[in-house]
Amino acid sequence: MNFIEYAKKNSKPNYNARIQAFPAIALERQFQRELVSLTNPFVKYLKKNIEIKTNDWIKTYSLNLDSDESDDKSDIENFFEKVITALEIYLPYKVLKEFFSKYSNKIYGFSKNKLTEQVEKIFKIKPHLDKDNYQKQLNLWVEKNIFSFKEALYKYVNNNKMAIYNILEKISDKDSIESEIKINDQKLRNSIAFIARDQVSGLEGSVTKSLQTEVGFDEFVWITCRDERVRAAHRELDGKLCSWNKLPIINGNYIFPGSEINCRCVARPIITNK
């Protein structure tokens, strides 16, 4: 017997209760701000050291292509090898694991509290929800995000490296290097913003699905943010009754609110007097 089956027999359900469902926008913004803040010391380190080295690279730059030594690399190559080493010092696995674990717990807490409020409005009883049932799901999210974030940082480093090569080859202009670095800074911020939007809503949607089905909700209403960013396929689903046992199919894939990239939709649980 699941919770809803128990609650129907042991309480006086209010089937007309107005149930709210809302995305974790505030949590997403907090996640983004803190991830930017976590990244800033490394970004400042890289920019400062590129600025120091730029004048030297512009004045004189040589690479001994005739050398037989396999480790006889250019100054730029050596510089960026040190940058990668610094990246591991500024943002080691332990720090990233603590950060993403904190937010996996925050997202779980948000989803759990939302479901508890929804259930209490109907039954006046709180469901018992054991976080241990979701720990594997949360841990996988943490590991995936450590990988995705490190990938974004390596891309940021490599973008700066390639920009320096291209500018020295064509222009040898310090202002151009500074301009490219600013562009790459913004690209990194955009990547962080994307991770925040996609991963907070993704985990929240996944946990919501697990929580709702655990307590016994079979159906939900698909709710979009109802703005210009909502994709057409999701706009078609807005306000429609869906079943967790028979999810909508888009492009051959079963989907639910939060399951697709950058999806900000939410699932409002439905209970009927049956």
CA atoms within 13 A on the CB side of 51: 10
The one-letter code for the residue type at 165 is Y
Give the per-residue pLDDT at 63. Answer: 55
User: Which residues neighbour 225 within 8 Å (Cβ) at sequence distance 6 or greater?
Assistant: 23, 264, 265
Residues near 50 by Cβ (< 8 Å), separated by ≥ 6? Answer: 160, 164, 177, 181
Strands of 266-270's sheet in order across: 241-243, 219-223, 266-270
CA torsion, ordered 36, 38, 41, 46, to nearest 10 deg:
-60
Question: By the 8 A CB rule, do 270 and 220 touch?
Answer: yes
Alpha carbon 103 to its chain centroid, in Å, reads 10
Name the pTM for this structure: 0.91
Hey, which bits of 59-216 come out as E strands? none
Per-residue pLDDT of the chain (274 residues; tens, 9 = 90+): 899 999 999 999 998 888 989 999 999 999 999 999 999 999 999 999 999 998 888 776 655 555 555 555 678 888 999 999 999 999 999 999 999 999 999 999 999 999 999 999 999 999 999 999 999 999 999 999 999 999 999 999 999 999 998 888 877 678 888 899 999 999 999 999 999 999 999 999 999 999 999 999 999 999 999 888 899 999 999 999 999 999 999 999 999 999 999 999 999 999 877 6
Smallest CA-to-CA distance from 103 within 26, 212, 27 is with 27
Neighbours of 25 (CB within 10 A): 13
Q: What is the pLDDT of residue 169?
A: 81
